[in-house]
Structure 1
Amino acid sequence: MYISESKLKVRYVETDQMGIVHHSNYYPWFEVGRSDFILETGISYSQMEEEGVLLPLVESYCKYSEGAKYEDDIIIQTFIEELSPVKVIFNYNVIRERDNKLLAKGKTTHAFVNKEFKIVNIKKKHINFWENFCRLK
């Protein structure tokens, strides 16, 4: 199983009055991880869109164990849980770098669709995307 790692530093704007990262900020972090993962397949998300394949979010989940704090260095680990010709499920681990503490775990499910939001079988219609994703599954 391939695991992509994205790094970021918690910004002040991402924290709340308690000094911890607000829960809503984990989803943009998942997007950072997912975008980096897709790029590591050898294509970019914008290239996929240019070729008529979109990846709308259809389900999301996050379990928070401990809050990240301002200026924490964070690692977002991203990997594929499930891949089919019509959908992909990404998993995410949010880890504080200094102590390797797992702060949150998440999951997002995405459908492969065309610009009309009709399901696309990428194995049949975009074999290069399918092969690139399979390489990192």
Structure 2
Amino acid sequence: MLDDTDRRILRQYQAAPDLPGADLADRAGVTPSTLARRLGLMREAGVLRGTRGVIHWPALGYEVEVSLRVTLDKTAPRAFDDFIAAAREVPEVIEIQTFLGSIDVRLAVIARDLGHYQTVYRSRLLTLPHIADIEALMHVALVKSDETVPL
């Protein structure tokens, strides 16, 4: 379990993950060696899974984002596995989530514009296996996107 020092380190790391180690250690109130050791232990324990770059899709020309809520034909024995394997092959699908309930899968899809989305939708998404129903939700605005955990 995390102690107060670990939580303090994680709070600072979440706030400024790109800070040099010495600066991060200073903000967390620990020595650089303590910071390195504690971060290493948290990586080994699976608390920290990695460091990643966050891409702002519109800056790369992807102006449209759509959430697709998909219900699968669950009479097919491998419906989930087949669908997910095929959806992973669509480059415009940036996220796949599975659910319990009336919706089985949610896909986050990006496209350059509505014409590009229509092409992707008709040629790649509607051809995914075992779809019983699909609903598209067009993103209008991102109101909150925060991956920090209250520590």
Which TM-score band applies after superposition, normalised by the shorter structure? under 0.3
Q: TM-score, normalised by structure 1?
A: 0.22
* Greater C-alpha radius of gyration: 2
TM-score (norm 2): 0.21
